[in-house]
Structure 1
């Protein structure tokens, strides 16, 4: 993945009234169903990149944990302001009169992050596959979680857009997108970052389109081509015409009445933050609060 391109994509300002991609909202709905497996009820949770991750999905989680406070983290102050406008209850709303939840916070990753051990759940829908440094990001999430807090995330898997990649390869064009990480590798990264009991699963969602224009419009909503070997310059009108023709011819499926078909592999994961373990050496330093937690855990 080209890290500068990934950062540029994340930092793009929202255009007009914020709306999350349909596919991301659908994945958020399915991920919210997985919360039924989790017994722990967070007192405060954080939503990572809510504008792209799903505003409707945010509402589902907020409804489930109505007594919990929440933080929303966006890439830039402009995106954080847009998330505030979309998600913060107006002053006259009954949601502001509740006694359980503390006031939400809308943070920019360029300026601030949830304080260390300040949240009990971190919700990150369809963000990790576009991170410039995913291992560092997972470590940030682990630091923000309180002990026994948990991470819920989803992202694209390796089979995503396999039909489009095949067409580009057959025509000798540069890659249509960067390679996505396998779910087993994500599990290894979670363990490396200090998470415990990672549980990974995946599913494939097959979408059909009535035109190549609609297909390209949806792809622009959900991401960008971040492959380092992508075409480095601007494409012309003739290439677009050629691309539309190729997609119409090669992605049409007789089984779908001639509609164009794309596959998306969705990876889901969750993991818990365990009690810290003291690293033994000739001299070992353990924070007082960590020592208290370890002693309470042994009891």
Structure 2
């Protein structure tokens, strides 16, 4: 793949398997990143009348609640592509009928209507997509004109300590490579978004034991690298891994540390423009939007 079509090291079969098998729960790190991302909404003065949360069961149910509190009158639309997680979303986020009558934002779960959201929220999911361009197109289609996208994902500096350790031991990579924020910005523009704003931060997590570190990583995801170990490792290898982690990742405070690079992205869906040629085809919905926008500016 070209640099504009990353990620180059995700096995699509493994990514699809993880999408189906991922636990129907929100990892702690996802919730923390979601909390930090919703704080960035303070910079945006426009309040959406409707917003879409893309796979919140993995992305963060507590983060979903924080966004819902910020926009209490907005309708929330939840997209979950796996039946088990859709059931959890329905149980945790769906309001009973008496609360819907009493007022407040409604929550709908299912396929997102085209152009039905003024904000699309996706927390910590894009880095596991084997075909991120398709996901960006889905997000673009779900947004109304002038709607905005908020997303977060892991960046290339994630697990640098673990990657160095595996390389020193001559082992295959412990995880696939993560896309740089500048490449995400390029893909947003290529996908029809405008004015992308990207930033990142690094979060260092500390663990008391190798067992707790590995348990946390299993909650966060799976190794999707095509060159990963081709089969399960045995107990002897697991014991060796824990020994190496304890020896090489332990700091002066006695804790084992791992770095996670977090990328935050923001972009808007602009007024569509017709591509002019000898013959140009424009969808009727886009034509209506262009005409309405033209009259408004006039």
Tell me the TM-score normalized by structure 2: 0.92
User: Does the 8 A contact of 2:200 with 2:261 survive in 1?
Assistant: yes
**The one of 28, 32, 35 aligned to 1:26:** 32
Check 1:289–1:91 CA distance in 2 against 1; reply closer, same or farther (3 A cut).
Answer: closer
Q: SS of 1:30's equivalent?
A: helix
**Cα distance in 2 between the residues matched to 1:91 and 1:286:** 41
**Any idea what the Cα deviations from partners look like across 1:68-118, whole Å, max 9, x if unmatched?**
1111111212221111112112344x4x234453x42222xxxxx312111
2:11 paired residue among 2, 10, 16 = 2
Q: Name the SS of the counterpart of 2:53 in structure 1.
A: strand
Give distance in 2, aligned partners of 1:98 and 1:120.
Answer: 24
Q: What secondary structure is seen at the aligned counterpart in 2 of 1:86?
A: helix
Q: CA deviation at 1:287?
A: 3.8
Q: Which residue of 2 aligns with 1:290?
A: 286
Query: What RMSD, in angstroms, separates the aligned Cα atoms of the two structures?
Result: 1.4
The answer to whether residue 97 in structure 2 is matched with residue 97 in structure 1 is no
Structure 2 residue matching 1:291: 3-state secondary structure: helix
1:206 to 204, 224, 233: 204
Distance 1:98 1:277 in 2: 42
Structure 2 SS opposite 1:150: strand
Name the residue aligned to 1:43: 49
4+ residue runs over 4 A deviation: none
Q: Displacement, 1:266?
A: 0.1
CA–CA distance in 2 between the matches of 1:224 and 1:292?
Answer: 44
Q: Which moved more, 1:65-74 or 1:203-212?
A: 65-74
Is the Cα contact below 8 Å between 1:202 and 1:267 reproduced in 2?
A: yes
How far residue 13 of structure 1 moved from its aligned partner, in angstroms, is 6.2
Structure 1 contact 13–78 (Cα < 8 Å) conserved: no
In structure 2, relative to structure 1, the CA distance for the partners of 1:98 and 1:273 (3 Å cut) is: farther
**Unmatched tracts of structure 1, length 5 or more:** 108-112
Alignment match, 1:171: 169
Partner of 2:155: 157
Q: Which residue of 2 aligns with 1:251?
A: 249
Can you list the C-alpha shifts for 1:135-190, whole angstroms capped at 9, x where unaligned? 11111100111101111000000000000000000000111000000000000000
1:29-84 alpha-carbon deviations (Å, 9 max, x no partner): 00000011112211111111111100100000011111111111112122211111
Q: CA separation of 1:283/1:98 partners in 2, compared to 1, >3 Å: closer, same or farther? A: farther
Q: Which residue of 2 aligns with 1:279?
A: 275
Match of 1:134 in 2: 132
The answer to whether the aligner puts 1:83 opposite 2:89 as a matched pair is yes
Report if aligned partners of 1:13, 1:79 keep a CA contact under 8 Å in 2. no
Q: Which runs of 5+ in 2 are unaligned?
A: 1-9
1:67 aligns with 2:83: no
Per the alignment, residue 146 of structure 1 pairs with 144
1:181 pairs with one of 155, 171, 179:
179
CA distance in 1, matches of 2:194, 2:36: 23
Q: Aligned partners of 1:13 and 1:252: how far apart in 2?
A: 29
Aligned-pair CA distance for 1:210: 0.5
Aligned residues: 286
